[in-house]
């Protein structure tokens, strides 16, 4: 396991319980399943599945869903969710998604949510997703995207909040990657994922001394929007909106 992956496991072992409880994660999940056109005969792979919210939602429709994540504590949360929902058609793997432990042309749908900004080589992970997808299957990536001029300030703040953050992509870079790896029929849509600053900080484990700095950077962005996440007040509390893009493409036959 390389140093970055060790940091991921350390950070998400701390975040696991809190991440699973963040309201709003579940709300956008049906849109994702719909966009990937998951159907009852499908074998689905959820890459960096985390606490299993997307995989379990897909399992309500698909024939079978496989979730893979490198953080055992996240997989544990996913197993708990699966048993709460009494789903029998889900299998979990603990492993690194930079080399997916599955044969080529194996899944009808390969998707990932909120993971690309954690990858040192997102193009390499996308190549792996395409490899394990069947011809005519769908590949979907959903993640925060920002205009180029917002990325430096956002990445700086986010690396302080979560030391495993690598970098946000622009939507056009994401689409470019899809085209590079032979995905066609590209469809893109977006949604806003709203979160309160207090909820975010409860689920955050910055390196010591950085908590106040992160809060200050977000609060200081009220009415400025250097970070690109539209910081605003709601009932006197600080909230913001992550702009999420979902890109879906078909693997050419």
Ligand X SMILES: C[S@@+](CC[C@H](N)C(=O)[O-])C[C@H]1O[C@@H](n2cnc3c(N)ncnc32)[C@H](O)[C@@H]1O
Contacts with ligand X by CB under 6 A lie at 5, 8, 12, 25, 48-51, 53-54, 69-71, 74, 96-98, 113-115, 118
Q: How far is the CB of 80 from ligand X (least distance, A)?
A: 14
Q: Is the CB of 50 or the CB of 228 nearer to ligand X?
A: 50
Q: Is the CB of 178 or the CB of 193 nearer to ligand X?
A: 193
CA distance readout (Å), 157 to 213, 220, 230: 9, 12, 14
CA distance readout (Å), 172 to 178, 210, 246: 10, 32, 12
Q: How far is the CB of 20 from ligand X (least distance, A)?
A: 8
Q: Is the CB of 96 or the CB of 194 nearer to ligand X?
A: 96
Euclidean distance between CA atoms 72 and 80, whole angstroms: 12
Q: How far is the CB of 102 from ligand X (least distance, A)?
A: 13
Q: How far is the CB of 115 from ligand X (least distance, A)?
A: 4
The SS3 assignment for 60 reads coil
Residues 101-135 as b or e (16 or more Cβ within 10 Å = b): ebeeebbbbbbbbbbbbbbeebeebbbbbbbbbbe
Q: Is the CB of 50 or the CB of 206 nearer to ligand X?
A: 50
């Amino acid at each position: 396991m390389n140093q970055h992956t060790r940091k991921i496991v350390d950070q998400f072992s701390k975040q696991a319980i809190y991440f699973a409880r963040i309201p709003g994660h579940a709300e956008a999940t049906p849109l994702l399943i719909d966009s990937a056109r998951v159907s009852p005969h499908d074998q689905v792979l959820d890459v960096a599945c985390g606490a299993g919210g997307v995989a379990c939602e897909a399992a309500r429709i698909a024939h079978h869903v496989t979730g893979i994540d490198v953080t055992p504590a996240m997989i544990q949360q996913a197993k708990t969710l699966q048993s709460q929902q009494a789903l029998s058609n889900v299998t979990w793997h603990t492993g690194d998604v930079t080399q997916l432990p599955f044969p080529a042309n194996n899944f009808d749908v390969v998707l990932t949510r909120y993971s690309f900004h954690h990858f040192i080589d997102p193009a390499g992970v996308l190549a792996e997703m395409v490899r394990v997808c069947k011809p005519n299957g769908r590949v979907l990536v959903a993640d925060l995207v920002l205009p180029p001029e917002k990325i430096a300030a956002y990445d700086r703040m986010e690396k302080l909040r979560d030391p495993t953050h690598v970098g946000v992509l622009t939507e056009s870079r994401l689409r470019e990657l899809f085209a590079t790896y032979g995905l066609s029929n590209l469809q893109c849509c977006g949604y806003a994922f709203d979160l309160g600053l207090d909820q975010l900080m409860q689920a955050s484990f910055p390196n010591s001394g950085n908590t106040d700095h992160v809060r200050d950077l977000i609060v200081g962005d009220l009415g400025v929007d250097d970070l690109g996440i539209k910081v605003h007040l709601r009932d006197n509390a600080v909230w913001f909106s992550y702009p999420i893009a979902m890109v879906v493409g078909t693997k050419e036959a």
